[in-house]
Amino acid sequence: MPLFEFAFPHVTVYPRDLELFFASAATTSHLNTRSLVVHAPNRFNNEQSALILTERHLTCIVDRYPNLTALNLHMCNMTGGLSELNRLSKLRQLRFSNSDVPEWELVNILLPHLHVFSLSNGRRVVPESLMFFLSRHPLITGLELPFTDMDCTSRMIADVAPHLYCLNLNCSNFSSDNIARIALCAHSLSVLRLQYLTLDGTALQCFTNLPLQELDLSGVRFTSRYPLTRLSLIQTLVSLSLADIQGLTDADFTAFYFYNLRVLNLTGIQISSAAFVYFVARCPRLQDVDITRCSNLKNKSLLSLSKTGLLKRLCIAYCRKITSAALYSLAESPHLTALSLSACRRIWNKTLIHIAERCTEIQSLNLSRLTKLDDSTLTKLVEELSCLQNLTIDGCPKLTDTAIAALFTRRPQLTELSMCWGNFTDKSLQCIAALAFGLQFLALRGNQFTEDGIKLVRHRCPSLHTIEV
């Protein structure tokens, strides 16, 4: 299979055939490439299997991309030879995303300019190996660790904490005492992600002494009452995620006042419309709001968001009490660039057209599971949205091949399209193959496409790096 790459200076490779990829690597050098992601490709059944990378493979990567400053090995299992990475003298960011690293291989890495390190799957790495690695890289300011030995992990983080500005921890066993210990040392921490941990008031109190700009508490379980009251003391916050936190009530949202907050994620929070309106009024600079699955919210919630005219990104997926009447208020948000209306089934086609006519800067649009959406409506939408780059139309039963032809006739620059679980045929694939010169991602699951049609798209779309079938 052919190998597809992005334009410089960032390259993402999805090598379906490792030997073919590294054979070409031996004869080609990309001196201008600064960022590289080696990503295990999706198989035909949409499952991923890890790439096996040997020392020879790592040597080829270093030879081909000698000036990298960022490297991410995603779903890649290492067999050894990580010392080859030492030849990347300019490397500042190294990530092993869901990759398997041999237990002692980290001790062989020495990158004098490394600032960001991520090891999201460290089941084979022994703590002593990681501690030695961190001791050799005193410039690290961004860190992601996966370990279950919490005391050991907190000690390691504390050693580098004075330099940290970004910390990501995702482990339910990490205690509030561990978090408090880290917070007392990490005086420069501005990005903190603590998904699915258990926290008490002591840990939250420690956060108030940090210059935090981004705080992600997705899925956190609180052991104290009114835990969010202390967060109102962090006036430096620009981004806050409270997604999927169980047990929050309207009363928890009455003590907030975040003047600088731009990004808010309340996915899955069962807040009432009245509490939401009150909360939004105390966050006057909101630009990016995600209220997916906030099933209690009604029309007045959306009206309160649109008043400032600052809104740029909005996701109201599965907010089934919101109707077309509220969406007309989005006309007051002319700078909207991303909108998700997935499964909002009380929205009419004429409302979508009204939004498109007034929010012409939209680049990303999710209309999945809108059962009323038809070919003529989608055609009018893409005529108005000249900046559109990312479109999701999964589960829209009234859309046909005619809609896909209209889409790429008017917007051949589209980079991402998801058209799963529809009534599309190979005629759609023929249009994509003929017109979609900029397409990089394509999802086709749940349609009656033939293998010949899929092969045609793979060979005719030069920028396509991922196709899900």
Q: Region 158-187: what's the mean pLDDT?
A: 76
CA distance 137 to 160: 9
At 173 the pLDDT is 67
pLDDT digits (tens, 9 = 90+) for 198-249: 888 777 888 888 899 999 999 998 887 777 778 888 889 999 999 999 888 8
At 187 the pLDDT is 81
Domain-located, residue 77: no
pLDDT digits (tens, 9 = 90+) for 175-188: 777 787 778 777 88
What is the 3-state secondary structure of the chain? CCCCCCCCCEEEECCCCHHHHHHHHCCCCCCCCCEEEEECCECCCCCECCEEECHHHHHHHHHHCCCCCEEEEECEEECCCHHHHHHCCCCCEEEEECCECCCCHHHHCCCCCCCEEEECCCCCCCHHHHHHHHHCCCCCCEEEECCCCHHHHHHHHHHHHHHCCEEEEECCCCCHHHHHHHHHHCCCCCEEEEECCEECHHHHHHHCCCCCCEEECCCCEECCCCHHHHHHHCCCCCEEECCCCCCCCHHHHCCCCCCCCCEEECCCCCCCHHHHHHHHHCCCCCCEEECCCCCCCCHHHHHHHHCCCCCCEEECCCCCCCCHHHHHHHHHCCCCCEEECCCCCCCCHHHHHHHHHHCCCCCEEECCCCCCCCHHHHHHHHHHCCCCCEEECCCCCCCCHHHHHHHHHHCCCCCEEECCCCCCCHHHHHHHHHHCCCCCEEECCCCCCCHHHHHHHHHHCCCCCEEEC
Neighbours of 157 (CB within 10 A): 21
Domain-located, residue 215: no
At 413 the pLDDT is 92
Domain-located, residue 372: yes
> With pLDDT > 70 as the criterion, what percentage of the chain qualifies?
87
Structure tokens at 57: 């493979």
Give 3's pLDDT tier (boundaries 50, 70, 90).
very low
pLDDT digits (tens, 9 = 90+) for 98-153: 888 887 888 899 999 999 998 876 566 777 788 888 888 888 888 887 655 566 66
Domain-located, residue 220: no
User: Number of structural domains, the chain?
Assistant: 1
Domain-located, residue 435: yes
In this structure, what are the phi and psi dihedrals at residue 443, rounded to the nearest 5 degrees? -110, 125
Give 174's pLDDT tier (boundaries 50, 70, 90).
confident
Q: Region 398-423: what's the mean pLDDT?
A: 96
Domain-located, residue 446: yes
At 186 the pLDDT is 79
Domain-located, residue 281: no
> With pLDDT > 90 as the criterion, what percentage of the chain qualifies?
47
At 5 the pLDDT is 33
Task: Kindly tell me if the per-residue pLDDT of 418 is higher than 60.
Answer: yes
Task: Kindly tell me if the per-residue pLDDT of 8 is higher than 70.
Answer: no
pTM: 0.81
Span of 121-130, 158-167, 324-333 with lowest mean pLDDT: 121-130
* Averaged confidence pLDDT in the chain: 85
CATH of the domain at 443: 3.80.10.10
pLDDT digits (tens, 9 = 90+) for 84-101: 999 999 999 999 988 888
Task: Kindly tell me if the per-residue pLDDT of 52 is higher than 90.
Answer: no
Domain-located, residue 330: no
Write out the residue range of the structural domain in which residue 372 sits. Answer: 363-468
At 43 the pLDDT is 46
Give 263's pLDDT tier (boundaries 50, 70, 90).
very high
